[in-house]
Amino acid sequence: MKFNIALLAGDGIGPEVIDQAVKVSDAVAKKFGHDINWKPALTGAAAIDAVGEPYPDETHEICKSSDAVLFGAIGHPRFDNDPSAKVRPEQGLLKMRKALGLFANVRPTFTFPSLLEKSPLKKERIEGTDLVFLRELTGGIYFGEKGRREEGETAYDNCVYTRAEVQRLAKKGFELAMTRSKKLCCVDKANVLETSRLWRETVQAMEKDYPEVEVSYEFVDAVAMRLVQWPNSYDVLITENLFGDILTDEASVISGSMGLMPSASLGSDIGLFEPIHGSYPQAAGKNIANPMATVLSAAMMFENFGLHEEGKAIRTVVNKALNEGIVTEDLADGGVSYGTSEVGDWLAENI
Amino acid sequence: MKFNIALLAGDGIGPEVIDQAVKVSDAVAKKFGHDINWKPALTGAAAIDAVGEPYPDETHEICKSSDAVLFGAIGHPRFDNDPSAKVRPEQGLLKMRKALGLFANVRPTFTFPSLLEKSPLKKERIEGTDLVFLRELTGGIYFGEKGRREEGETAYDNCVYTRAEVQRLAKKGFELAMTRSKKLCCVDKANVLETSRLWRETVQAMEKDYPEVEVSYEFVDAVAMRLVQWPNSYDVLITENLFGDILTDEASVISGSMGLMPSASLGSDIGLFEPIHGSYPQAAGKNIANPMATVLSAAMMFENFGLHEEGKAIRTVVNKALNEGIVTEDLADGGVSYGTSEVGDWLAENI
Ligand SMILES: CC(C)[C@H](C(=O)O)[C@@H](O)C(=O)O
Ligand SMILES: CC(C)[C@H](C(=O)O)[C@@H](O)C(=O)O
């Protein structure tokens, strides 16, 4: 097959980790007889510096005419500590999610047997953890009206959800649960929020269409606890945008390295694939960032094209690297470690 | 001294754990020559059943004419799974917080040497953890306008903060940091939310009044990760209502038992003291609930009256019980355990 893939490296360590995902994807393409046409485009702080906005029209055109988007990371401390900044890198990411209709963010958390010891959690707590969050990505408080009044003394952010938005996300959740262990947890704060009550009543009404799926409803604060206590008690979790942001990051550290967790954002024909980790400006340009989450995001991309063998080839080589200690310093425990690009080279060669 | 204490047992295990806190407080009062006049009042599902609303006027009158409120727990599954319920127990808690002006919720997370092994986290990750969250409690999305439109198909919750609300909470945070290790972390989502940008700019402007305090700003998703990775890297954290709800629950499991963490809600003359855990309806009436969080909440109550020796007496006896294995089944590791009231009796006798 022939693919056009928009390549949005973004900020911080983004360009370095993206380079490795490209190497590995090219090796997979070669092995399986595909042809990838990479189309680089600007985003984030890098785009603000170059053209004054974080998701330029040109980038959107490139994404729209591609089969998928592979994304690095976004964000820069220069903007974070200036609450009055008018343009910020994150706006690019949000604009892109909305413009591409990526309403479902798929964030798996799984463990690697060779890394169980690296987790902050005890081994017996995390063994067998294999859960997936479906985070709603184009609604809620991220996209509601926001602003100031009373001469800047009062700030507001509106959280809004429609039943249709909940339904399309929940549908993906039920479907995913059917392909797994048929357990679905709806995470909300229905004891306080009206939007959460809409989530809960909508999901409750859909239960009858999926009689085999066992649905539970938990408050977001309870889930924040249980994720640390018994992560392996969860399977598929669905939740709104902000809760998903917080809980998926919390879940990502369970695996022993937040450098390992990939994600997919779906909804329209064009999927976006990106690591869960951020732009880590402190590590940028040092060839020390762990590229595996981005490489695994490329695996999700192939799988989303229906190319399961290709995805598996990537997962297998990542596992092999972890077993053989071909890792960046975050996973090396003070022992031998490799640079970002050396890890990428090794993965590509061993595909 | 002579105190009037409103006693709001609430729902589920509330009445059982409250009983133990009363025993222990009475023992402390006797030892130190104080006189406590307990004034029981209805709240939560219990109050809905009795008089149709979760925070009746009579209860408010009793609270207002007391020196403090000791609170058990609130909530019942009957209401949770009925998104259309018109009256819900939690409304009582929210109404009370607002009516008593309790804008600052103080939620410490600390470890007990004898319980380090019980934590889901590895010992070396949690040793020395001693952090405090100051959660804003009477603003934000909990109290903004909420409702439905488009015939119920669209739900909304507004999150609103004024600069003055942020200032008064942050002031308590800076002051608390000054009495501890002078490190303050402001938790927000300033890369997305306007209310968070107001938080960040307000706290930034206050930094100059506390030149000794080292202030950091972190995004809520990053804190959700670091709390699991390096909880002992935090000291005082300030945050808005919803973030505080999620993060303090997450932090509470670090200690090895969520049954152990107390809290205080302050703001007016009358403080409210309650365990962080919920109403655990499954355990209600079985004499198995761990009363220590409620007992430690009573310690915070004495300390808030300026009675530090009294508070210390309670903390000491709780530590002693933990060391000697006088614990409920959640802490017994399958070994010998005691009932809720037996633990309470032991604590009171050993004051
Ligand atoms: C960078 C930020 C806007 C973004 C979010 O909050 O969605 C990030 O944290 C994420 O989870 O992808
Ligand atoms: C019961 C509920 C309304 C409450 C809250 O969300 O504030 C509880 O979770 C808490 O943290 O005290």
Are the Cβ atoms of B154 and A162 closer than 8 angstroms? yes
What pLDDT, on a 0 to 100 scale, did the predictor assign at position B88? 87
The tens digit of pLDDT for each residue in B93-150 reads: 999 999 999 999 999 999 988 888 889 999 999 999 999 999 999 999 999 999 999 9
What pLDDT, on a 0 to 100 scale, did the predictor assign at position B77? 83
- Residue A211, exposed/middle/buried by CB under 10 A (0-12, 13-18, 19+)? exposed
Q: How distant is the Cα of A120 from the closest Cα of chain B, in angstroms?
A: 6
Concatenating the DSSP letter of every residue in B318-343 gives HHHHHHHT---GGGSTTS----HHHH
- How many beta carbons lie within 10 A of that of residue A332, not counting itself? 13
Which H/E stretch holds residue A24?
A: helix A14-32
Distance CA A83, CA B327 (A): 48
The pLDDT of B145-157, averaged and rounded, is 97
Residues B47-52: contacts with CB under 8 Å, at least 24 apart: B47/B89, B47/B92, B48/B87, B48/B89, B48/B92, B52/B87
Task: Judge whether A90 is closer than 8 Å to chain B, CB to CB.
Answer: yes
Residue A245 annotated in active site: yes
Q: Using the Cα atoms of residue A331, residue A334, residue A338 and residue A340 in order, give the sign of their dihedral.
A: positive
Mutate to test the interface with B, among A94, A163, A246, A260 (most CBs of B within 10 A): A246
For a pLDDT cut of 70, what percent of chain B falls above it? 99
What pLDDT, on a 0 to 100 scale, did the predictor assign at position A77? 83
Task: Judge whether B249 is closer than 8 Å to chain A, CB to CB.
Answer: yes
Which among B93, B3, B85, B2 is positioned nearest to B42, based on CA atoms? B93
* Model confidence at B76: pLDDT above 90: no
* Model confidence at B84: pLDDT above 80: no
Which among A24, A4, A51, A6 is positioned nearest to A316, based on CA atoms? A24
pLDDT, mean over chain B: 95
Phi, psi angle pair for B277, to nearest 5° = -70, 165
Q: Using the Cα atoms of residue B239, residue B241, residue B243 and residue B247 in order, give the sign of their dihedral.
A: positive
Q: Is B74 in the pocket of ligand 2 (CB under 6 A)?
A: yes
Which pair of structure tokens corresponds to residue B106?
């103080």
Q: Using the Cα atoms of residue A91, residue A96, residue A102 and residue A107 in order, give the sign of their dihedral.
A: negative
pLDDT, mean over chain A: 95
Residue A189 annotated in active site: yes
Distance CA A99, CA B17 (A): 52
Under 8 Å CB-to-CB from B244, ≥6 apart: which residues?
A: B105, B107, B133, B134, B135, B136, B137
Query: Greatest CA span in chain A, whole angstroms?
Result: 62
Candidate from B147, B192, B228 with C-beta closest to A228? B228
Query: CA A73 → CA A247, A266, B78, B192, distances in Å?
Result: 19, 17, 44, 16
- All residues of chain A having their beta carbon less than 8 Å from the beta carbon of residue B197 are 83-84, 155
* Model confidence at A141: pLDDT above 80: yes
What pLDDT, on a 0 to 100 scale, did the predictor assign at position B113? 85
Distance CA B294, CA B9 (A): 11
Query: CA A1 → CA A20, A33, A302, A310, distances in Å?
Result: 21, 7, 11, 12
Are the Cβ atoms of B90 and A156 closer than 8 angstroms? no
B123-256 maps to CATH 3.40.718.10: yes
Going across the sheet that includes A271-275, the strands are: A35-40, A2-10, A68-73, A271-275, A262-266, A104-110, A130-136, A236-239, A183-188, A214-219
DSSP-derived secondary structure letter, B121: B
Contact B89, B48 (CB under 8 A): yes
What pLDDT, on a 0 to 100 scale, did the predictor assign at position A270? 96
Which among B76, B75, B71, B12 is positioned nearest to B40, based on CA atoms? B71
Residue A142 annotated in active site: yes
The tens digit of pLDDT for each residue in A154-172 reads: 999 999 999 999 999 999 9
Which among A210, A91, A185 is positioned nearest to A135, based on CA atoms? A185
Distance CA A170, CA A237 (A): 10
CA-CA-CA-CA torsion for A173, A179, A183, A187, nearest 10 degrees? -20
The number of the ligand nearest the C-alpha atom of A275 reads 1
- The CATH T-level fold of domain A1-102+268-351 is Isopropylmalate Dehydrogenase (3.40.718)
Which pair of structure tokens corresponds to residue B291?
């009363």
Candidate from A121, A144, A225 with C-beta closest to B258? A225
Mutate to test the interface with B, among A93, A95, A157, A330 (most CBs of B within 10 A): A157
Report helix, strand or coil for A156: strand
* Model confidence at A257: pLDDT above 70: no
Tell me where in chain B the CATH 3.40.718.10 domain(s) lie: 1-102+268-351, 123-256
* Model confidence at B351: pLDDT above 90: yes
Mutate to test the interface with A, among B137, B138, B191 (most CBs of A within 10 A): B191
Higher-scoring residue by pLDDT: B288, B90 = B288
- All residues of chain A having their beta carbon less than 8 Å from the beta carbon of residue B252 are 225
Residue ranges of alpha helices (H) inside chain B are 14-32, 44-51, 57-64, 77-80, 89-99, 123-126, 163-179, 194-206, 220-229, 241-252, 292-304, 308-324, 340-349
Are the Cβ atoms of B220 and A245 closer than 8 angstroms? yes
Strands B271-275 and B68-73: parallel
Contact A178, A207 (CB under 8 A): no
What amino acid occupies position A76? H
The pLDDT of B156-171, averaged and rounded, is 98
For chain B, the helix, strand and coil percentages under 3-state DSSP, each to the nearest 5? 50, 20, 30
Report helix, strand or coil for B284: coil
Higher-scoring residue by pLDDT: A334, B307 = B307
Which among A162, A47, A148 is positioned nearest to A95, based on CA atoms? A47
Which among B43, B15, B8 is positioned nearest to B284, based on CA atoms? B15
- How many beta carbons lie within 10 A of that of residue B33, not counting itself? 7
The pLDDT of A327-340, averaged and rounded, is 92
Among A161, A245, A330, A338, which one carries the catalytic annotation? Answer: A245
* Model confidence at B170: pLDDT above 90: yes
The pLDDT of B187-216, averaged and rounded, is 97
Atom of ligand 2 lying closest to residue A192 CA: 3
List the 112-151 stretch of B: residues with Cβ below 8 A of A. 120-122, 125, 141-142, 144, 146-148, 150
Which H/E stretch holds residue A65?
A: none
Distance CA A77, CA B97 (A): 36
- pTM assigned to the model: 0.95
Going across the sheet that includes B154-162, the strands are: A146-149, A154-162, B154-162, B146-149
Q: How distant is the Cα of B246 from the closest Cα of chain A, in angstroms?
A: 4
Q: Using the Cα atoms of residue A335, residue A340, residue A341 and residue A346 in order, give the sign of their dihedral.
A: positive
Under 8 Å CB-to-CB from B64, ≥6 apart: which residues?
A: B100, B270
Contact B337, B327 (CB under 8 A): yes
Under 8 Å CB-to-CB from B109, ≥6 apart: which residues?
A: B129, B130, B131, B132, B133, B231, B248, B251, B252, B254, B255, B261
List the 259-318 stretch of A: residues with Cβ below 8 A of B. 278
Contact A220, A187 (CB under 8 A): yes
At A90, the pLDDT band (50, 70, 90 cuts) reads confident
At B278, the pLDDT band (50, 70, 90 cuts) reads confident
What pLDDT, on a 0 to 100 scale, did the predictor assign at position B345? 98
What pLDDT, on a 0 to 100 scale, did the predictor assign at position B334? 85
At B259, the pLDDT band (50, 70, 90 cuts) reads confident
- All residues of chain B having their beta carbon less than 8 Å from the beta carbon of residue A246 are 220-221, 224, 243, 246
Per the annotation, does B26 bind a ligand? no
Query: CA B166 → CA A142, B158, B224, B264, distances in Å?
Result: 21, 17, 21, 18
Q: Is B75 in the pocket of ligand 2 (CB under 6 A)?
A: yes
Concatenating the DSSP letter of every residue in A73-141 gives E---HHHHT-TT-SS-HHHHHHHHHHHTT--EEEEEEE--GGGGGGSSB-HHHHTT-EEEEEEE-SSGG
Distance, CA A238 to ligand 2 centroid (Å)? 21
The pLDDT of B270-293, averaged and rounded, is 95
Distance, CA A169 to ligand 1 centroid (Å)? 18
Distance CA B188, CA B201 (A): 11
What pLDDT, on a 0 to 100 scale, did the predictor assign at position A81? 73
Distance CA A125, CA A236 (A): 18
What pLDDT, on a 0 to 100 scale, did the predictor assign at position B258? 67
Active-site residue list of B = 142, 189, 221, 245, 249
What pLDDT, on a 0 to 100 scale, did the predictor assign at position A287? 97
- All residues of chain A having their beta carbon less than 8 Å from the beta carbon of residue B142 are 192
* Model confidence at B198: pLDDT above 90: yes
The pLDDT of A293-299, averaged and rounded, is 98
Residue A2 annotated in active site: no
- All residues of chain B having their beta carbon less than 8 Å from the beta carbon of residue A197 are 83-84, 155
Which among A91, A126, A98, A133 is positioned nearest to A112, based on CA atoms? A126
Per the annotation, does A157 bind a ligand? no
- In CATH, what class is A112-257? alpha beta
Candidate from A120, A217, A242 with C-beta closest to B125? A120
